[in-house]
Structure 1
Amino acid sequence: MKFDSVISGKIVTDKVFEGEIGVKNGKIMAIKDESGSMNGEKYYDCEGQYIFPGFIDSHVHCFSNPDEGIEKTTKAAAHGGITTIFDMPYDRPYPINHIDLFKQKTEQVNKYAYVDMGLWGTIAKCKGTEQITKMAEYGAIGIKLSTFETDVERFPRIPDIQIKQAMELAKNAGILVAFHAESEEIIKSKISEFKEKGLTKAIYHNLSRPPESESLAVIKLIELAYWTNSKIHLVHISHPHTVELIESFRKAYNVDVTFETCYQYTTLSTEDLKKYGSIAKCNPPLRTPDEVKCLTNQVLNNRIEFITSDHAPWVKDLNETNIFNSPSGLTGLDIMIPVMFDRFINKGLLSIIQFKNMFSTNIARRFGIKNKGIIKEGYDADLTVIDPKKTWQLDETCYESISNQSVFNGEFLQGKVTKTFLRGTLIYDGEIKNKKMGQYIKGPGFKEEMLFEN
């Protein structure tokens, strides 16, 4: 067989081996543990470089900052070796809480995306649960809710009774519910106290969102999942004590709960928040060095299923000295993979297989995404190539995202994404190829007949 393309290098499956991948019609058609045996219209020699299944980021915000949008976000993903993203529903000006808005967004994906995209849906406060089944059947990856209110319309706190109803409806629709889990009562009380006292330095962002503001919200959600026998996912877990609580509930009561942490919670700490201020502001906040060390050890011991970016890029006012006036969120898609490769692979902390699982395989499996997450015959030829020996300096020119502000700028990293393939087509090789071939990826609740309803 003559393939459309052949890619050779160190292939990462459940083992690492030198070989070739043959691609036809966007699918992996053959894998061999030798080189020079396949014939292709195009041949990509990546000798000495790792070929991973395309990385997946299940926690991305394209429209929290509307100046970012799908094009910039998905270019940043391709640049960073990420071939599939799941976009959160808290868009400006209108959150994706109705089937009509959800359908419109799928059309935008198919028109503007450079990588594949799944979409989260959400609901309005105190109403709208009837939209859950409709969005699930149209292919929503899941439903995202929050226990903390950023904005009453766009990012509301959902009442407990509505959370329970959402869990039950999502269960029946075959999807999970994900949560931003922070205690609004604790946090808003702390922020009010600090503002009244004029305590507005960067560290007070951390102090206004103490560990218990995360763990208390998590416990409540796991209890509701237990009583509804539903499937939930907890996003951006930032503290090792929260991990221990989740593990204990899961073991004692067999609750179907997974969770993620984000790259910043294993690489940055309150020392960076104090030094860099708003550039290091995210929710939940960066934790203390000792807490970061404990959380990182949990990652190394496979106690955390996967890692995401929580990409929420802002161009922040560096002259703002009141931390509470600065927006929360960090850029991540361009840099997460090379930063984590440098920190964890080059230092020998994680194996290549662990890295593959945390950034691809485990995510595809949890969200029921077919034909992605592993290198296997019949699967999509989404591939990410990393040169483990390439040393380069990260700076403000190394971004496709609207925000190039990062604590990591100026650092020398070892390990660079050299090529990104989407369904066998090269979409990045040092520069973004002008190929908007991203597709809308449907979740496990999808029903074909929904595509034909008015």
Structure 2
Amino acid sequence: MKLLIQHGRVVDPVSGTVSIQDLYIENGKVVQLEKDIRQEADQVIDADGLVVCPGLVDMHVHLRDPGLTYKEDIFTGTAAAAHGGVTSVACMANTDPVVDNPEQIRYVKDKAAQANGVHVYPIAAVSLGMRGEEPSDADALKKAGAIALSDDGCNVDNANLMRDVMIHAKRLELPVLCHCEDTTMVEGRAVNEGSVSRQLWLEGRPAIAEEIMVMRDAMLAEETGAHVHICHVSTAKSVDIIRRMKKRGVAITCETCPQYFTLTEDEILTQGSMARVNPPLRTAKDIKGIITGLKDGTIDAIATDHAPHSAEEKSRPLTRAPSGMVGLETSLAITLTELYHTGKMKLPEIIKRMTYTPASILHLSSKGRLSLGSDADITIFDPEEVWTIDPEQFASKARNTPFAGREVKGKVKYTIVGGNVIYQDR
């Protein structure tokens, strides 16, 4: 397959440059990158006025497969990814059964190979059954294809277990992705501890529950030398802790999600269960801290924490509904709307946090780049197109998003994997 992309505004997240160039792709690789390429091609895409960048890398996705496929499966999840310009996803282990053994790793990889081409990289559980009692066999899991370890969805409360896992992970060069919330402080609680929880007469999930565990895991990373990655950072103080620990030379990285630099806890008052996520939506002060962390590089990556649930589950009362929202099909648009079009961040920095940096954290050396010889995983989007988020149009099985009906600016036009167009906006 020979593909020619012409007149695009090419963003290189490694050099931070933006330039008008053509790309010529052959056998799944970028073989020419320059102006006015004149080559015969099987397909020509006129990208005049569009942005061409590496395919987005989402390092935090729940595909719900195996076992919870009424919510999502690998086929629908990767279709949603393609619609959102995401060419590589790392999927979490909190399925049923838990991905804590090589057989489940192979299941995910084999099923993904039958999907639409989006790369699926399994993340294995830190502990057996994600119970936080006994470590999984990290050696066997890595050999089977796991790219990281995480009990995401559950905090690993046992500090001794987490320390042992980090020592082992350091030897294996596996990052450990941490869901940071002290279970004893948040269990059974639906919303942030603050003005909204008080209005609703509910016990809240305090910010300190996250911050204590961010500090603990950062200290364990410092002591063991392991690479620790903090998932879905949601508070300004968490950002401050990570910033300080980075300055100390600790091998710590982190991510946040669009909801944490866009929505506050007040969303609960109008959207109820649809705005219940984990960790919870916080305050305007926290949003300011998150954006500052993105701008100064403390926050390394923007992920989705794509967490599909059925309509029945999300229609339950706030205190009984599951936490989570889908995000694969909206993350780029929301991020462009909130950070790029407001002038808070420049386009190359946004793209870097959605491509090159998450790929680097997960040691996916062939992903997140757009240069001569790189894999032809490419996203092409119109940064100026305005559209309204309509969950009924999602490729995902799930519709649970608090962004329904929101007008956004920036739309994916083509998603390309290995030089093949797997999604085109009609």
TM above 0.5, yes or no, is yes
Letter in 2 for 1:430: D
Secondary structure of 1:417's counterpart equals strand
Secondary structure of 1:270's counterpart equals coil
Structure 1 unaligned regions, length at least 5: 150-156, 432-454
2:82 aligned residue (78, 82, 87): 78
Q: How does 1:398-437 map to 2 (within 5 A)?
A: 398-430=393-425
The answer to whether the 8 Å contact 1:202/1:322 transfers is no
Separation of aligned partners in 1, 2:38 and 2:294: 38
Which sits farther off after the overlay, 401-410 or 242-251? Answer: 401-410
Secondary structure of 1:166's counterpart equals helix
Separation of aligned partners in 2, 1:147 and 1:379: 34
Separation of aligned partners in 2, 1:328 and 1:258: 24
Q: How does 1:51-450 map to 2 (within 5 A)?
A: 51-63=52-64, 65-67=68-70, 68-91=72-95, 93-122=96-125, 123-124=127-128, 125=131, 129=135, 131-145=137-151, 148=154, 157=156, 159-188=158-187, 204=202, 208-252=204-248, 254-317=249-312, 322-430=317-425
The answer to whether the 8 Å contact 2:313/2:321 transfers is no
The answer to whether the 8 Å contact 1:215/1:241 transfers is yes
Per the alignment, do residues 113 and 90 of structure 1 end up closer, same or farther by CA in structure 2, a change over 3 Å counting?
Answer: farther
Separation of aligned partners in 1, 2:354 and 2:380: 14
- Report how far residue 407 of structure 1 moved: 2.2
Q: What do the CA deviations read for 1:358-382 (whole angstroms, capped 9, x no partner)?
A: 1001111121112111101111101
Per the alignment, do residues 126 and 338 of structure 1 end up closer, same or farther by CA in structure 2, a change over 3 Å counting?
Answer: closer
Which sits farther off after the overlay, 397-406 or 322-331? Answer: 397-406
The answer to whether the 8 Å contact 2:93/2:152 transfers is no
Per the alignment, do residues 188 and 130 of structure 1 end up closer, same or farther by CA in structure 2, a change over 3 Å counting?
Answer: closer
Secondary structure of 1:294's counterpart equals helix
Separation of aligned partners in 2, 1:395 and 1:203: 32
- Report how far residue 247 of structure 1 moved: 1.6
Q: What do the CA deviations read for 1:337-368 (whole angstroms, capped 9, x no partner)?
A: 11111222222221111111010011111211
The answer to whether the 8 Å contact 2:255/2:300 transfers is yes
Letter in 1 for 2:422: I
Q: What do the CA deviations read for 1:305-351 (whole angstroms, capped 9, x no partner)?
A: 11100000113459957422011000100111111112222222211
Separation of aligned partners in 2, 1:161 and 1:43: 56
Per the alignment, do residues 203 and 144 of structure 1 end up closer, same or farther by CA in structure 2, a change over 3 Å counting?
Answer: farther
Letter in 1 for 2:2: D
Separation of aligned partners in 1, 2:50 and 2:247: 39
The answer to whether the 8 Å contact 2:325/2:402 transfers is no
Per the alignment, do residues 52 and 59 of structure 1 end up closer, same or farther by CA in structure 2, a change over 3 Å counting?
Answer: same
Separation of aligned partners in 2, 1:4 and 1:203: 61
Letter in 2 for 1:213: A
Per the alignment, do residues 31 and 117 of structure 1 end up closer, same or farther by CA in structure 2, a change over 3 Å counting?
Answer: same
Secondary structure of 1:178's counterpart equals strand
Separation of aligned partners in 2, 1:75 and 1:190: 33
For these two proteins, the number of residue pairs brought into alignment is 411
Which sits farther off after the overlay, 76-85 or 162-171? Answer: 162-171
The answer to whether the 8 Å contact 1:57/1:309 transfers is yes
Separation of aligned partners in 2, 1:102 and 1:266: 33
Per the alignment, do residues 6 and 283 of structure 1 end up closer, same or farther by CA in structure 2, a change over 3 Å counting?
Answer: same
Q: Which residue of 2 aligns with 1:451?
A: none
Per the alignment, do residues 38 and 348 of structure 1 end up closer, same or farther by CA in structure 2, a change over 3 Å counting?
Answer: farther
Letter in 1 for 2:305: D
Separation of aligned partners in 1, 2:183 and 2:242: 20
The answer to whether the 8 Å contact 2:25/2:376 transfers is yes
- Report how far residue 69 of structure 1 moved: 0.7
Separation of aligned partners in 2, 1:112 and 1:146: 24
The answer to whether the 8 Å contact 1:20/1:38 transfers is no
Q: What do the CA deviations read for 1:264-294 (whole angstroms, capped 9, x no partner)?
A: 1001111112211111110000001222122
Q: Given the alignment of the two structures, is residue 6 of structure 1 paired with residue 4 of structure 2, yes or no? A: yes
RMSD across aligned positions (CA): 2.3
- Report how far residue 389 of structure 1 moved: 2.3
Per the alignment, do residues 377 and 237 of structure 1 end up closer, same or farther by CA in structure 2, a change over 3 Å counting?
Answer: same
Q: TM-score, normalised by structure 2?
A: 0.91
Q: Which residue of 2 aligns with 1:23?
A: 25
Per the alignment, do residues 244 and 188 of structure 1 end up closer, same or farther by CA in structure 2, a change over 3 Å counting?
Answer: same
- Report how far residue 130 of structure 1 moved: 5.4
Per the alignment, do residues 98 and 300 of structure 1 end up closer, same or farther by CA in structure 2, a change over 3 Å counting?
Answer: same
Which sits farther off after the overlay, 65-74 or 233-242? Answer: 65-74
